[in-house]
Every structure is written in structure tokens, then in C-alpha cells.
A and B are shown apart, each in its own frame.
Chain A
């Protein structure tokens, strides 16, 4: 689970502010009822957390020994991916009780075993317990993400009804925990752990298991009974709630299919990807995530989504981080400028001045690589991989059609670069002059030949050194 460790660290620093007292019902319910058992009767929401209420502090943290008797809360346990062996995930850390409210934060790492002891005794007053509990919750989330990962592999063939039941219990429990934690952490987003997607994991797990042909027949039947108890299930029960959520998912899916009959929905799809990217960025450290995506995710899809994200919510902190990352990664930026349609880039440049400057720099670089072919009277790319004249013209056309600030900046840049090259109104001398001419009248050519306006966008000079190659962009002075 990437980012989980980091969140735990952040939490460790901040848990002094965290009031477990904000979770009275949860706490109370757990304290009163004690550890849940895996009997079917106990699938009601009041049963507390599977795994979190372990009463035995001496149990090893990670699943090892067999499940002992005594109603130890069962969690689907796996040694490795897809190895359900019935051994429980043992997570100590205890459980908060009312006495722990308002306790002073302790220093150092919480003592998990101590926390567990407190939980067992029901007298926990220690300051470290809240931290320990949060940490144990995070560990459980991490452990559950393993369960989720396994749920779509062939390894589920080894799952029996009991494992399926535990997995679903886990998922339901984590939804409740997520809901309460979110409420408790309201306004402390920065202090909170990465809770982003945890709310809906019960649906994800259910859908994956239902669609996984490797799941054995008995386990599948058990799954159906758990997920679709039928109309008899009392409405507020978690079983009924999950059933309703799954039905809603099916209905939404039907809705998407119906709406798609009216035509493709590329914009909506892109927007959705952008929103998910932003949501992920809000949840955790941006740098690592973006580097990881750049390294592993399909780049075209990533860049499209990133561009869309920058257009969605330009003021938010998440796009800010995305923008910083993009400006700091020359290869990503170059790919972005190269792969995205001109109109989208123009929209981006209009929205983000920093990106506008970077884009113009990129255009300057590309322009400098063009050479004028005297016999054909055309600007040609030195190498097939370079950007062609037509494409460059297209980009500038799109910029020239943009609303004023961007249009003005683009034209001013062209004029400045053209001036550097002497501003001779003769074709073939300067790619910038020719571009200005190609953009047609009214595209700022009136001031052709005038001195570049101060230094804001001046300096992009790239005079054609005929017949030699254009000056390399590295030598050009680009605006900061």
C-alpha cells in the first residue's frame, strides 16, 4: 500500500491532536460488546471490528499461529498473496475507551503491546494508545489491501466460505471505520491518514469476488448469501446497505451504458480520470506518486489526465503540486507539449502563466530545429522526430486564437524572436517572421520590426544561420 507508511508517520507526529473522544459510539459499542465472533449472527454492525478487538496481547503481530479459540475476531489472513491459511491477522493496539479521552500525548512510538493490554483490561489511560490504535488501523488497512489484491487473482480458489465471510466482514468494518474516521478528522485533513478510497472497498471486494471465476462454488454461494440477503434483510443492517450499494453500482453501470448509446463520452471520461488523479494527489505526497505514475503508468493516458486535471481546478493545492512537478520534469513537460492537441495546450497556457512560459520555450526550441529548404521554399524538420512546420504553425494558430492575455503573449514572443533575427520581412530568413506572416494579418504583424517590449518575453532569438543548422535552443536565452 504505497503511501501508507508515510501517513502513519504523519499521524505519529500529529496524533496528539486527535481526539478519540470524537468516536464515542464506536468506542462504546466495542467496549460494551467485546470481541465479535464469526458466527453469522454477528454480521450486524454492532459487532465491532474484526481483528481490531483482539484480546490477546501475546499473539504475534502478523498472522502466524492458528486461530485460537475464545472468539478472537477473525480477519481473512494471508501469509502471502493468495495464501489463506486460516491464520488470523493479529493486530494489537487495543481499543480506545472513554478513560483515554483527553489523555496527554506521549512521546515516541506507541507500545503496541501496552495498548493491547490496556484494551484487554478496559482501563487504558495511556497517551500512546490512540496512536497505537490508529497505527493498528492503518496496518489493518494495509493488510486488507493485500486481501483486495488477492481477490481478483486465481488464488481465491483456495478461499472457503469462512475466508469469504471474513473478507466481507473486514470490508464492511473498514467502511464503517472509514466513515467515522473521516468525520473525526474533518478539518484535520493534513493530520489524517490517507483515507481516500477506503470507503468503497466493500463494493470493490464484492464486485471482484463475484467476477472471479476462480472462487470455489461453496465460497461463491456463501458470498451471494452475504451480499444479497434479499428483501428480508432489515434496512439499516450492513448487509442490506451493501446490497443496496451493489444494486446502485449495477444501476449506474446500466445508466452509463444507456447514455453511451447517445455517443462517445471522451470528455467525461477524461474528466473522471483527472478527478481521480487529483483525489489521489490530495491524499498523499504528490512528488512520489507522480514520479511513480510517470515511470509505470501509460504515459499518454497520464499526460492527458494531468492536463485535464490542470484545467479542472486551477486554484486548488493538488493541481499546484502537479504543475510544479511538471515544470520540474523536462521530459514530462516536453512529452506533454508534444502529445496534447494544440487547443488543449492553449487552454492550459491560458490558465497557468508558468505553463505558458514553458510552452513558449518549448515552441521556441522546436522552431529552432527547423531549417529552411531553399529548393522547395519550405521549413523542414531536421529529423523526422522533430516537430514539423505545419504542426508548429498549428500550435501558434491556436495560441493566436486564444483570448487576449495568451494571444498577446504568444504574438509578443514571436515578434521578439523575429526582431532578434532582424525582422526582415523576407520569407525563409527567420522561422518566427514566417510564422507571423503565416498567422495572417491582424495577428500582430503591424508591430513587426518594432523593438521587443522590454525583457518580459524578449530573448527568444533564433536567427536562421543559413545554410547551417539553427542555433541550439540551449544557447538561446529564454524568459524565466
Chain B
């Protein structure tokens, strides 16, 4: 408590000094400095109100003899009065200053002075001329009616000036000089969240002058971006795109804001990730290649930082899907070539991957998968394809369209395919890009064995959970299988359970057998959620499988929630955090930090 009051006193001194410098906000520097400090000053005002409301007027004056000065300086600063809620908090502070029972003339004088300040903040607008005042009065209106209309029209007039329009014969033919535009962008900083100003903010953002340098203040972009991210304003997408294109820090902040949201949300279902992504406007904005490249680059860093956490992989996949949707919605004919979005990738591979599986007949899926697999394999294993950035770049491109890997696993279990080799390779690559050919071949052999085992059981009328468990579990008579093989086998097994005629009956039993740890439970939950999400998007009609997947998901949720409750950790455990990501990465063997960044540098 004592520390608080010391803090407050030092803040008080700091702001007193600032306000003296800012007085009347006349010079450019003071205005800039004011704008920079507006949020912090509002916070200080709030603090001050909390202090003042506990004291009576005399004590306030005793403890803060200069408070009158401070408040008066605040009342005269138009930037502060126009900012967010500052004027309201200031009024509350002034109300605390009014003495309820003035004992002497000094106190009465203070009351009267405070009243003056209050009415200075609130007594609405004064007219330019007496004549106008009288006219408005004869109409039966008041300055309070006039002020909002005037503001609206001032904004409209500035907007149309900015757009070099003519407004009904009103004189707006003057073209705005860059200095005025710069000035407006500064004036708008405190006003950004005032709904009346929105059209002007939008017009400033979309204004394209002929100047070579940016005319708008960077602080203006910061203020708009902040207000947009906090949902204090709503702007059309075009204006937001302009904001991000013109001010890179804003785009970075918006992307980080999205990451924070994804991380802090308790459990990331893909639907939820999709909601956050669409809500952020980033996929739509990414239709502009410059924005796409930056967001994509940030995803890449997060992926490397988290050692390929499955949550990040999922986010990239959903982001790409939303982006492709937005791209299609915007324009059937691409305005920019694919090369501008994926400069390091083979264009033909991008073309194939960009196709939505829904647009391809199901009987051709195998063919497409084979094609993808072959193209990737050629680039990854053939040294002549260095221009496409090597294995990591290929893998990074492929995980954007990770749905294909899931389809590959599904197809392996379901269909009698000739090309199982290619599909197995694709699966092994997508889960472990850094493996060398030999390692991958070994993985494929293991997987193939598991697959053959599953295939045998697929039509079997009597299935036992123990038989199936053997696919995923380690065999006691061999060396421990690599974690990757285990995980991939689990994936095949889960697909088997969903699609095999007899799988439904024993699904839950198998899952309890193969998921002894939280990590594996979490992995299975992720798989089921991803599968359902993919089916929804493919309009896959598989009522039985769908029903089973949903039931299993619900069951797993219920059991994992009750476990968490028993552990007392509740919902506090972030799902996309470093913790599970680490363990996942270990088992996935996705990207050893020592290898991937190097490859990335190539």
C-alpha cells in the first residue's frame, strides 16, 4: 500500500512535468509526445481517481496542493480530452474535488473554480457566430444537437477532400496538400476509437498520394492497429490491408496477436483455429502476396521455435485453407502468380497441392497423391533440384496442404492400392522430413508390415483389441521401434478403426490400450478432430465412421477433463505451449533444431 502511494507520487510528479511541457499542445513535438503518452496518461488518471475518491476535498488539497494545476492543464489539452475515456475519468476526478460543505471562502472558491472546469469540458460547442447560434435556436435546437452533426460533416468533408470528390456543389475542390494529410493523421491518433471518425480513418488508410515517402504518422498506424486488434473499431478489409501494407510493424503485431490468441485458447479445435484465423482478417489480407509472405515467414519461425508442434502445423494448414478460400472468393483469375506467394517452391508442385481434394473425383485421389509423392521425392532426393530450397522448403510447402497426408493414410488403409509405396513415402516424409533415404526406407518397411497386418484384419468378422494393439505397440521380441514408426502405425490403426466394418465395436477398447499416456491421448484427440474437420470440408458422407469419431472424441475429452480435474490443473494447461510441443516433437522427430535451421539457410 505504502509502495503504491510512493509510486503514485512519483507518477504524479512525472505527469505534472509532462503536462507543463505539453501545455496547449502547440508544437509538433509536444503533440507527438502527447499522442505517444495518451494511453499511459489515461491509466494515470484512472489511478488518480482511485486515490481521490477515497479522500475528501480538503484532504486532497492537503496531500496534492498542485492538483488544481494538474487538472486544469489536463482540461485544456484537446488531445487528452479527445482520447478514449480520458474526459470521463477527468470529470470523475474533478467531481472528487468539489467540497460538500465548504467552510470558508477558499473552499467555496475552489468549488466554483472546479465547476468552471467541468462546464468547460462539457458545455458543448460554441458557435462560430452569434448569427448561427440564433438561427439554430430559432429552429429549436441546441449546441448539443449541433455538435455531433458538425463533427459528422467535418469528417465527411475531409473524406471527400481526400478522395478529391465534389460534394453536391459544396466547395471541396481544393486538393489536400501532404502536410494537411500528415496533420490529419496526427489529429486522428486520439480519435481513432471515436465512431464518428471512422470514415476519416478509413480514407486516410486508403489514401494513395503521389508522394514517394509515407505521409501518415507511424503512431497513427499504431493507434489504428491497436484499436482494430482490440476490436474497438471495425474497418473494411481493404482499409486493413492498406494498413498492413503501409506499416509492417502493424502486420507483425497483428500476426503475433493471432498467435497469442491461438496459444491462450484452452484447447484448439480446428474449428476454433479457423474462427480465430478468419476473425483476424489475416487470411483475407494474405491475398496480397507481400502480406502472405510475411505471415508465412512468421509461421515458419514459430514452427522452428516449437520444433514443429502439431498445433502450429494445424494452424498453418487451416490458415492456408482459409487463404485459398479467400483467394478463390476474391478472384477466380489470380492477380498475382503463384510464384509470388511461394517463391521457393516448384510451381508445378504448388499447382497440384493447391487443388482442393473436393474438386477432384475421389477415384483420382490416389493418382494425385502418387503424383505429389513423386514430385516431392524427386526434389528431395535429387540434388539437381537445389533451386527449390531442399527438403525443408519442400516439407514446409507440403505441410501447408497437410490434408493430403491425412488422405494418404486413409487411402492406405481403405484401398487396395498399387501405389502404396508412394503413399508410404509421403506419410514418412511428412512426419519426418529430416530423415535420410535409408532411415525413411526403414520406416516404410515397418509401416508396410503394420499395413499388411491391418489389411488382413480389415475384412475379418471377429476382431480382437489385442490383435490390433500389436500393430501400434512395440513387439517384445524386437528392438524398440522408433517413436515415429509408432506414431505412424497408430495413425494407420485409427484410420482402420474408423473404416473397418468391425472396427466400431472394439474402437474404445483399442484406444484405451494404445493410449496409456496423456500425450498419446492428446495426439488421438488431435487426429479425430482433424479427421472430422477434414470430412466436413470434403463433405464426406460416412455416417457410421463420423458417428464413431464423434463418440470417441467426446469420450476422450470427458476422460482427459476428469483426469485434469483430478490432477487439479484444471484448464490452466495451455495446449499449444512449449511443454507438449517438446514432447510431441521428440516423438515426431519432426525437426531437430540442429538440422532444420541449417537447411533453411541454404
Contact = CB atoms under 8 A, between A and B. Distances in A.
Interface of A: 2, 197, 200, 203-204, 206-208, 210-211, 213, 217, 220-221, 224, 228, 230-231, 243-244, 246-247, 249-265, 267-273, 275-277, 280, 292-293, 296-298, 300-302, 305, 308, 311-312, 343-344, 347, 350-351
26 contacts: A207-B142, A210-B123, A211-B122, A211-B123, A217-B108, A221-B98, A249-B148, A250-B81, A250-B88, A252-B194, A255-B191, A255-B197, A256-B125, A258-B78, A262-B158, A267-B170, A268-B154, A269-B128, A271-B157, A273-B136, A276-B139, A276-B145, A280-B141, A293-B139, A300-B131, A312-B168
Contact of A271 (B82, B87, B153): B153
Interface stretch (B180-188, B267-275, B438-446): B180-188
A220 B489 CA distance: 79
B124 interface: yes
Contacts of B78: 254, 257-258, 261
A154 B39 CA distance: 40
Contact of A268 (B49, B81, B156): B156
A364 B153 CA distance: 36
Contact of A272 (B85, B140, B146, B194): B146
Contact of A249 (B144, B169, B183): B144
Nearest to A199: B145
A249 B139 contact: no
Interface string B554-571: 000000000000000000
A80 B131 CA distance: 28
Contacts of B184: 262
Nearest to B174: A263
B140 A2 contact: yes
A206 B138 CA distance: 21
Question: Interface on chain B toward A: helix, strand, loop, or mixed SS?
Answer: helix
Contacts of B155: 259
Contacts of B187: 258-259, 261-262
Interface stretch (B111-119, B378-386, B397-405): B111-119
B101 to A, nearest CB: 9
Given A197-B140, A254-B82, A258-B82, A301 B150 contact: no
Given A250-B91, A256-B154, 16 more contacts: A200-B145, A207-B142, A249-B122, A249-B148, A251-B194, A254-B87, A258-B190, A261-B78, A265-B154, A271-B153, A271-B156, A272-B153, A273-B136, A301-B134, A301-B135, A312-B168
Question: Which 8 pairs, one residue from A and one from B, show the smallest C-beta to C-beta distance?
Answer: A347-B169, A254-B82, A211-B123, A268-B153, A254-B81, A297-B138, A247-B88, A301-B135
B132 A253 contact: no
Interface in B331-369: none
Interface in B194-224: 194, 196-197
Nearest to B120: A211
A280 B219 CA distance: 42
B149 interface: yes
A247 B135 contact: no
Contacts of B143: 207
Contacts of B125: 253, 256
A200 B149 CA distance: 13
Contacts of B481: none
A302 B100 CA distance: 46
A200 B142 CA distance: 10
Given A271-B153, A311-B169, A217 B111 contact: yes
B92 interface: yes
Contact of B87 (A251, A269, A296): A251
A351 B49 CA distance: 56
B285 to A, nearest CB: 29
Nearest to B123: A211
B146 to A, nearest CB: 6
Given A2-B140, A221-B98, A259 B81 contact: no
Given A211-B122, A213-B115, A230-B92, A252 B131 contact: no
A166 B492 CA distance: 76
A471 B48 CA distance: 79
A340 to B, nearest CB: 12
Given A253-B125, A276-B139, A204 B145 contact: yes
A249 B146 CA distance: 11
B51 interface: no
Nearest to A280: B139
B122 to A, nearest CB: 5
Nearest to A348: B169
A259 B49 CA distance: 29
Nearest to B80: A254
B149 A275 contact: yes
A249 B122 CA distance: 7
B102 interface: yes
Given A210-B123, A252-B151, A217 B102 contact: yes
Contacts of A268: 150, 153-154, 156-157
Q: Which of A2, A244, A268, A293 has most chain B Cβ within 10 Å?
A: A268
Contacts of B227: none
B36 interface: no
Interface string B10-35: 00000000000000000000000000
A259 to B, nearest CB: 5
B302 interface: no
A297 B134 contact: yes
A382 to B, nearest CB: 31
B149 A272 contact: yes
B147 interface: yes
A253 B170 contact: no
A252 B154 contact: no
A323 to B, nearest CB: 16
A235 to B, nearest CB: 13
A17 B121 CA distance: 45
Contact of B141 (A217, A221, A260, A276): A276
